[in-house]
Structure 1
Amino acid sequence: MADPALRAVRGEIVHFLADPAERGPAATEHFPDGLLILRDGRVAECGPAADLLPRLPAGTPVEDRSGRLIMPGFVDTHIHYAQTDVIASHGEQLLAWLEKYTFPAEGRFADPVHAAEVAGFFCDELLRNGTTTAMVFATVHPASVDALFEAAQARRMRLIAGKVLMDRHCPDFLRDTAESGYRESRALIERWHGRDRLLYAVTPRFAPTSTPEQMQAAGRLFAEHPGVYLQSHVAENRGEVDWVARLYPHARSYLDVYERYGQLGPRSVYAHCIWLDDADRARMAATGSAMSFCPTSNLFLGSGLFDLARADALGVRVGLGTDVGGGTSFSMLATLNEAYKVLQMNGQNLPAERAFYLATLGGARSLWLDDRIGSFAAGREADFIVIDPAATPLLARRVAQAETLAERLFVLMMLGDDRCITETWIMGERAAARGATRGEPHP
């Protein structure tokens, strides 16, 4: 007798049990003909189809994805939904980019109708690219947070987001105060944090745009609400680092500013982390804070090259971020492509297995969510993607010549993009699809 809560998906399955940089080949679990069994939106079991199919109750629906690759959904640890419409805007480095493109675009989010329209498009674009969890900056407007959470909730996505805190060095139309930012953030935490799959992040934009009073208030919010997140930017651009040194002359470093205001700790995530020293990295590791490596943005804005080797050596949690709209693609595959090149320029290497770990379980670990997402371990939320390794003629030709899984994954991350993502599943249900699919009940 079929269990109505049970279903399965069959195909080539790859996921990670640990960091390949630490565990080597044992970190990767690969089933060339695998079965992913789902129950009530979670992973019930994952393994070889030959072993698991005979144990399925008769009549259990089995979705056949032969010839496709099944992986956990991608985790984007840093992205700005309000910058969707300024992606691919020509020129400028960080500080000029903010003035010329970012601030005018974010000003439009005072209109809840505009915020809702962009939020819907943004969430659909994430899903289309295979991203099932994201940590997102909204704008200073509380309604921009409401719109984003409403869109994510309707799609059953796991999303972390927050209202930007910004009370100086910004246009008047985007400026709050230490008191109003605290009050509005607290109300949003009470309304959204822990609702369905939604989590709140206290969001000081970066140290230069918050007064010491607002930085103190952000640290207080982080401390007063156990389980909330904190997200910001640090050490992205050398001009920015110099600016922070002038604004906070008593701090040892840019990162030290955040630590002085109680903003480091588990569930705090800092984008970029380029111009840090080892003392900074050691503090991030010791406090459980995480880095978001944003390669397409760092290249596009001319910011610098991320040092993954030093982060690894000091034991810092690292995830990947697309950083749209300074970043140039929603695609995690395209982001892995650029990550490989950034590290090559820094004299480092990014093996394919490590790259896909960072995009899945590594991202989940950096968000302290690896007990819920990022792998196919039993009980995990069933967010996963179906990848077509022959989505383009060039991919098909190149993959046909690949002899190992590592080689095929590397080809996929160098030549792949959104066209490779044929399906995205959220909590065991298909949420986005490209092209026809096949499914039949298990006899």
Structure 2
Amino acid sequence: MACVVALLAAGCSAHATEAGPEITAGPDGVSISIPVQVTVGGMPAGDQVRVWARTYDRRGQLWESSGEFVTDGVGRVDVSTAPSTGGTYTGVDPHGLFWSMRLPENEQAPYPLMDADDVVVLLGVDRAGTTVARTTLRRVVREPAGQVLPIAEAGLVGDLYLPPGAGMWPGVLLLGGAEGGRPDPAYAALLASQGYVVFGLAYFGVPGLPTTLARIPLEYGLSAARWLAERPEVSGDRIGVVGTAKGAEYGLVLASTEPSRFAAVVAHVPSDLVWPGLGGPAGTQTSSWTRGGADVPFLRSLPARGASSAAPNQAIRSADAYERAVATASRWRLAVARIPVEQITAPVLFTSGDADGMWPSTAQAQRALETITEAGNPYGSALLDFPGAGHLVGGVPDLPTTRTAIPYGPVTIESGGDPATTAAAVRNTFSATVELLRKAMPRGRG
């Protein structure tokens, strides 16, 4: 009788002491830049299971992914080593459940995707259409002890991200691209967590600044660099600059204009040329940048094929317009519009994807590096180019890369690239960015 009571208390089954289905994920609560392991156990051997992941973006929209797996001889699946045979990705990919998350077809992805907070992922395993186990995984973007200070002073607008703890750290100026507004808060917070004071500088698209990306003064960016270097939290009088796309163009022009201010330059999907501003009156072209109130010389762009007839949600590839503009320009016009990157007295890391649909970042980065190399390249500049990757190769690792079309004004631009390849590129560029900053700006030195 005592045995019967004990079995009832245990769940009315002689097998109650055996481990049931479970899914585990870890390490939990660490930086999103650190790889995690997802494991399923307690299943029948050789069983077909579906492992899924879900999270929410800053708009509250649900992103989902999944992989199909067969359990091994002891009823386990290690997602890091087991091949997925279906779902949102296939093959062996420890990061597959994260980069392959996607929205329903009728929902738009925000930019940036996440705020500077933790990313909480719900993970589950289904067997025969029924969820048999769940768990959660918290991935840290901003260190809890870090700070974010909104900045609106000295004519500057942005946010200052401080690492946790007391002391002085190297400073990094972060420049976003043609989306405008404040730069990606998740990227800024993650860079700050690596031991940098990061100033995410808005240069258009917020109150008090130009509404469009046209005729932005170089003096504004240089003033931000000086302001950052003079902050009491910042060590040394030279800072790093990290820019993406048009922000990379801006960063290269700034570092070429006042080389002594910059100790390191990271240019994600950059340009070697100054291009026209964006969002101005139809039929007119002005420079993206000014110096002393005058336009910085630029190369006139051409219209993208199909832009005028594209449906509202039809993505167009704008990279060919930039390619045709270069191919048809005279040598003189190219020389006038060229950014004098050989004047930069710091290491430059260029990153690019050769399937970039927005502009030809690989060709542009290659030309810029060739210019630096021909000038002697004593600072160890380099290019990380990723065949098959798209425009979004810089930023926060392990966020979804399935968003390949980006709304921009009245049109939608194709960012290009294979999502898995682009995701791998992001992981590589983040590691390389941190490595360059650490080498060029060791803590406590300028």
Verify same fold: TM over 0.5.
no
Greater share of residues in helix: 1
Greater Cα radius of gyration, structure 1 or 2:
2
TM-score (norm 2): 0.32
Q: Which structure is richer in relative contact order (CA contacts within 8 A, separation 6 or more)?
A: 1
Q: TM-score, normalised by structure 1?
A: 0.32
